[in-house]
Amino acid sequence: MTSDPFFHPVSGMDLPRYAGIPTFMRLPLVQPGDARFEEVEIGLVGVPWDSGTTNRPGPRQLRDASTMIRAEHGHFGIRPFEAAACADLGDVGPNPADIQDSMARITAFYDQIVAAGIRPLTGGGDHLCSLPVLRALGRAKPLGMVHFDSHTDLWDSYFGGFKYTHGTPFRRAVEEGLLDPKRIVQIGIRGPMYDQEDRDFAKAEGIRIIPIEEFHARGVADVMGEAREIVGTEPTYVSYDIDFVDPTFAPGTGTPEIGGPNSYQALQVVRELMGLNIAGADLVEVSPPFDTSGGTAFLGVTIMFELLCAMVGQGK
């Protein structure tokens, strides 16, 4: 709990939302090495790393859109910036020319975050980002995971054996012991498939997949009740791929699949996480070149605000 105004975002009542350097949700920028870094409780991090980046990465557009976020959750009445010391921790610098080096840089950055006792809320970047983050968060003990996506990201390899793409991170994370497959639930899976290989892996490991047809038939509350049971009270990671949402509501992404949830459901699923033990969360796969109106980035940061409220409200 913090009443220190240093950690409160700038209000749109005082400074118009379009003025000022855009940090996440207009929070202070507190980077590793800064004096107050150790005081941060929840850190918002950008990982502008994407095999398809064309000089318009996700974090910058997410930060721009996040200046529209205000101080209080309209439904729960939570005021997250008072409930926890939040800060923008800046971006991790990737190496666009080397995937392994980029992953090493990301893990090193998150090791500092873990060491400082900060829980990270990440804005990506593509879904491969989750792997190096989990290498820092899940090293001590495998985490559970609530995973919103239209793809399982459990493929073994692409293009003749290549193991690290945005279609493979969670297979690697399970293999490396960073995630406990029995405590993974994947929600919203859909679309034309290559074959059954990813789902065979899930079945063998005990990962629960809830396809979109089941999601639409059962509804948010029922599905999320099952998800809460699967991950239980142990530390859990939340990974939210924006392509979980129907591409009309979130066009700014690289591998859309028709027929997902609408924007209201996109928020409701996060609200149902309230009370879980959230060790960290990410919102990934926002791709500005496909987000010509900026609406996907705005949806993305609204989801990040819901995730933040869920992280703050977890004792409730």
Q: Is residue 149 a known part of a binding site?
A: yes
Residue 142 CB, shortest distance to a copy of itself, in Å, is 27
- Rounded to the nearest 10 degrees, the angle between the axes of helix 99-115 and helix 130-137 is 40
Residue 193 CB, shortest distance to a copy of itself, in Å, is 4
9 secondary structure, DSSP code: P
Is 293 a binder of a copy of itself (CB under 8 A)? Answer: yes
Is 188 a binder of a copy of itself (CB under 8 A)? Answer: no
Closest CA to 295 of 240, 244, 243, 248: 248
Is 14 a binder of a copy of itself (CB under 8 A)? Answer: yes
Task: Report 78-137 residues binding a copy of itself (CB under 8 A).
Answer: 88, 90-99, 101
Residue 141 CB, shortest distance to a copy of itself, in Å, is 31
Give the residue with the Cβ less far from a copy of itself, 144 or 251.
251
Residue from 4, 6, 15, 140 binding a copy of itself (CB under 8 A):
15
Residue from 259, 272, 277, 314 binding a copy of itself (CB under 8 A):
259
Burial class (CB in 10 A: 0-12, 13-18, 19+), 282: buried
Q: Are strands 236-241 and 179-189 parallel, antiparallel or unpaired?
A: unpaired
State the CB neighbour count (10 A cutoff) for residue 26: 24
Both structure tokens of 93:
């610098």
Task: Report 194-223 residues binding a copy of itself (CB under 8 A).
Answer: 194-196, 211-213, 216
Both structure tokens of 237:
């990671």
Write each residue from 46 to 85 as x if it is in contact with a copy of itself (CB under 8 A), else as -, in one continuous string. Answer: x-x--xxxxxxx-xx--xx---xxxxxxxx----------
Residue 290 CB, shortest distance to a copy of itself, in Å, is 7
Residue 73 CB, shortest distance to a copy of itself, in Å, is 6
- Asked whether the beta carbons of 284 and 240 are under 8 A apart, the reply is yes
Closest CA to 166 of 286, 16, 305, 24: 286
